[in-house]
Homo-oligomer: A and B are copies of this chain.
Amino acid sequence: MNLFGTAGIRGDVTERVTPELALAVGRAVATEIRAPERIVDGEDAGSRTTPAPEVVLARDGRVSGGALAAAMEAGLTAGGVEVRRAGRLPTPALAYASRGRYGVMLTASHNPPTDNGIKCFRDGREFSDELEAAIESRVEEGVSPASWDEWTEAHRIDPLADYRAAVREYATGFGANLDGLRIAVDCGNGMSAPATPTVLRELGAAVVTLNGNVDGYFPGRGSKPTPETLQDLRSFVSDANAGIDEPGRAGRDDDGFAFGIGHDGDADRIVIVDAAGEVVHEDTVLAILAEAYVRRSEAAEPVVVTTPNASGRIDERVRAAGGRVERVRLGALHEGIARVEQGSEDGGEGGRTVAFAAEPWKHIHVPFGGWIDGVCSAAVIARLVADEGLDALREPVTERPYRKLSVTCSDERKRPAMDALATSLPEAFPEASVDTDHGVRLEFPDAAWALVRPSGTEAYIRIYAESDAVDTLVEDVRAVVEDAIADE
């Protein structure tokens, strides 16, 4: 079994993420977090006088959420942990509520309504790989049931208002008062609906929502926010701004919108639409936030953690602001944060702090907390826009042409080819600095970059590149890659 993917457990509710699975995972989680080795300070979770670990349980707005939450509750309470039932929440609100305890979120993020999923949190962060592996083993092997007198009763809690207040207060550390700024938010019938529009309104914006009614069928648009699914939002914003001279600046004085926001089903992702109705590239959004965070940091060398597929424009802006970028493999931002912080504690390099961590569309606002938070991104970006305007924020970010290309390579050849490329690529591009942690990533002095890595699921080696001369760069890289594959 391979239960946890890069985004937790996810799949069809009649075949994979069934109530039976939720019950089993609940039992496994309860058993694991009550295990003596998980208990800090030598406490003994088995004794009656030690309170059982506490787990906040929430779900997104999917039709299957009620049944799966009940099954999860059954597994957790029969496993002897205290359960706090939080009902429907955005994923970042659940993560927030999991601080100082545990959290389980039932969500399939932007998947279709037929799916659902399970994400586990400990103290505001998703379970580590090691903890996920332990859960997986327990699900496979089955857990011995907790004694009847260790079973618990779940109680209801309502953490959403506290979360909204926390985001609101946090965001005031950035930019300027919204002061009537008009923003269009497309909630996609997902769980951002009771969060982002309210937070922005409380911060002073004039918000109009699309698909702000929570509906597990996602009737308004596909749950994943893409240029296509956001077509209604894009037209809505651009049409409203038609005939307005300076819509970016505007947004306050007229019927136009300063910008638009699109979320996925559980509000961890965010997409920004500009006043012309165009989607702002996810790497540009990332670069804007990264720069803002590094400029505000008081650390000697603030670090931004991101992933290999993220553009060199991020590095440009971070360096310009006096910081440094570190890359970790996709889905492993937490590890990157931990590694940097650990390094700092070890004293080797003083003053290194993670200022911000992000994959494209997914932002961890580290000073706020260790989870991906699209609601917080909405609030922070809105404050930045209110201060400078979206155009001004984008202006220093250079967007270069981008290409992606797949070179056929049998699974057996992937390893030797990548080994060879670790040497041959640097040799072929001596001007580039090289990172071989996750594939081979070349970074050029002019912020152009290329990434070569094997596909995890298909018989390809993939090449990603961004450069003012992207075609030349891709062809040059392809030649080296094909050599490495052929070279036996």
State the Cβ distance, A22 to closest chain B Cβ, in Å. 7
Neighbouring B residues of A221 by C-beta, 8 Å:
208
Q: Give the interface segment out of A143-151, A286-294, A412-420.
A: A143-151
Known: A213-B213, A255-B231. A23 touches B74 (CB 8 A): yes
Binds B, one of A63-71, A304-312, A374-382, A432-440: A63-71
Kindly report how many copies of this chain are found in the complex they form together.
Answer: 4
Chain B residues whose C-beta falls within 8 Å of the C-beta of A67 in the assembled complex? 73-74, 77-78, 151-152
- The listed residue (B18, B152, B168, B208) touching A66 by CB distance below 8 A is B152
The interface residues of chain A, by DSSP majority, are classed as mixed
- Contact present for B22 and A148 (CB under 8 Å): no
The segment from A199-207, A266-274, A344-352, A362-370 found at the interface with B is: A199-207
A51 at the interface (CB under 8 A from B): yes
Question: Are B236 and A213 neighbours in the complex by a CB distance under 8 Å?
Answer: no
Chain B residue numbers with a CB within 8 Å of A148 are 12-14, 63-64, 113-114
Cα A103 to Cα B224 with chains together (Å):
40
Which of A1-9, A155-163, A323-331, A452-460 lies at the binding interface?
A: A155-163
Contact A210:B210 (CB < 8 A) given known A66-B77, A67-B151:
yes
- Asked if A95 is at the interface (CB within 8 A of a chain B CB), the reply is no
Is there contact, CB below 8 Å, between B235 and A220? Answer: no
* B219-A213 in contact (CB<8A): no
Task: Knowing A145-B14, A147-B14, A220-B209 are in contact, say whether A154-B66 is a contact too (CB < 8 A).
Answer: yes
From A31-39, A126-134, A190-198, A467-475, give the one contacting chain B: A190-198
What residues of B have a CB within 8 angstroms of the CB of A64 in the complex? 78, 148, 151
CA distance in complex: A306, B384 (Å): 54
Known: A19-B78, A78-B64. A208 touches B187 (CB 8 A): no
CA distance A232 to B110 in the complex (A): 27
Residues of B within 8 A of A209 (CB): 189, 209-213, 220
Across-interface contacts of A155 in B (CB, < 8 A): 158, 161
Q: Closest 5 interchain pairs by CB?
A: A212-B213, A71-B74, A212-B212, A70-B74, A67-B78
